[in-house]
Amino acid sequence: MTSKVTYTGELRTTCLHLRSGNEFITDAPVDNNGLGQAFSPTDTVATGLASCMMTMMGIKARDLEVDLAGASSEITKHMAANPRRIAKIEVKMELPSNISEKHRKILENTANTCPVHYSLHPDIEKDIEFHWIK
């Protein structure tokens, strides 16, 4: 088992990672009857895409002996209705500028082939930008 999710009421869940004991909460978003005081479940999916991309890039960067420390991503999730679902995820990455063009291409390819990217439904538009500026 990977995790346990407990509904605590008021459209909130507590999510427990069993191996580490780490927890996070989710709230329904304001536009769906919630308080919006934490990540919504769909926020975690969109954020998971960027987290997976950066983790896979970090693994590859280590193999290439490249340092990605300080890299960051901004994520914007767009919802659609009927049925309510994630329609689009925008990921804007800011990455160190001192990385060679060859390594940049390798790292971008690695990011675009991460497991979450492949796991998302193909109807979800993914707009991914890499900015080598830090």
pLDDT tens figures, 26-49? 999 999 999 999 999 999 999 999
Q: What is the mean pLDDT of residues 124-131?
A: 98
Determine the 3-state secondary structure of 87 from DSSP. strand
What is the fold of 41-132?
GMP Synthetase; Chain A, domain 3 (3.30.300)
In degrees rounded to 5, what are phi and psi of residue 120?
A: -75, 145
Residues of 97-132 as b/e, b for ≥16 C-beta within 10 angstroms? eebeeeebebbbebbeebebbeebeeebeeebebeb
User: How much is the average pLDDT of 113-134?
Assistant: 96
pLDDT bin (cut points 50, 70, 90) of residue 134 is low
Please report, for the chain, the start and end positions of each structural domain, with discontinuous segments joined by +. 3-32, 41-132
Average pLDDT, rounded, for the chain: 97
Q: What percent of the chain has pLDDT over 90?
A: 99
